[in-house]
Amino acid sequence: MSVNLSTNLFYNRSTSAMQKLSAQFDNLNEQISTGKKLIAPSDDSVGYQRLQVISRANADGKQDAANVKIAQSVLQQAGTALTQMTDQLQRASELVIQARTGTNLDTAKEAIATELAGILESIVSLANGKDARGMPLFGGKDGDTAVTNTGGTLGFAEGKAAAIPIGDGQSVEATVNAKDFLSVENGGDIGSALTAIVAALRAGEPVPEGAADTLTAVSDQVTATQASLGAREARVDLQAAQIKSAADDREVARTGIEDADVTETVIELQKTMTILQATQASFSKLSSLSLFDYLR
């Protein structure tokens, strides 16, 4: 009876030990094949919960990074358009100075007038540029055409475009309504100013002082707008760097929780296999003994 009891106890314990070793061997083998040490929530419930938090943060981070790229693109496009606009306005100022010398022939004045009219068309075209999303670079709240030219007087879209969220509760206005830099406080705008100058030159009259002043004011406003957008772009670039740094930190944390150290796991697998083989051999040898072998 006691021999039977001892034999059963030995058998049960040995079988249990081999099952545990076999399960451990399979687990380690799977870790090596997948590169993951955390395969199921039961492996490490706390670690699994942390992985879920990291996963959600990664999803938010990817969306923030995508928004940042959009903001960077829009700001860069707007900056380029304003640079080209500045060049056009600079050329217009040079032409106005030439026209004011009083020594120009009628043909020269006509050439200046024609070039100024072309500059106005270029400025309106630049103001109506589209960003990578197909939205107006300098439009309003509804995505309508930014600038219309009616008889030389400019009309502008209403309101301003929505700000772009860039993470951490921050957002950036990646563009500006064209009205903010192409019109002046007295109700004038670059369109009416250049149109008045062109009309005066073609009529043989002096350049209107008010129109020339508007040209100067608009030039200054475009430069100031360009500087403002440049500062916003720098802030967005800083946010982009912070988003990347946070993503890198999360990846380090995720790796520490989830990824297996293959070299260390292989060593552990070899140890487990050696113990399992020894246990199996011992069990096989002892379980083959008959009752007479025990009593011998």
- Type and span of the H or E element at 78: helix 45-99
Least trusted range by pLDDT, from 5-9, 36-40, 75-79, 195-199: 5-9
Mean local confidence (pLDDT), 157-175: 93
SS (H, E, C) 144-162: CCCEEEECCEEEECCCCCC
pLDDT tens string 232-267: 999 999 999 999 999 999 999 988 887 766 677 667
Instruction: Report d(CA 245, CA 31) in Å as an integer.
Output: 28
pLDDT tens string 24-45: 666 766 766 676 767 777 777 8
Reply yes or no on whether the pLDDT at 291 is more than 60: no
Mean local confidence (pLDDT), 201-211: 94
Looking at residue 6, its pLDDT comes to 60
Looking at residue 28, its pLDDT comes to 67
Reply yes or no on whether the pLDDT at 4 is more than 60: no
Reply yes or no on whether the pLDDT at 105 is more than 50: yes
> Per the confidence metrics, is the pTM higher than 0.85?
no
Mean local confidence (pLDDT), 146-159: 94
Handedness of CA 212, 214, 215, 217 (dihedral sign): positive
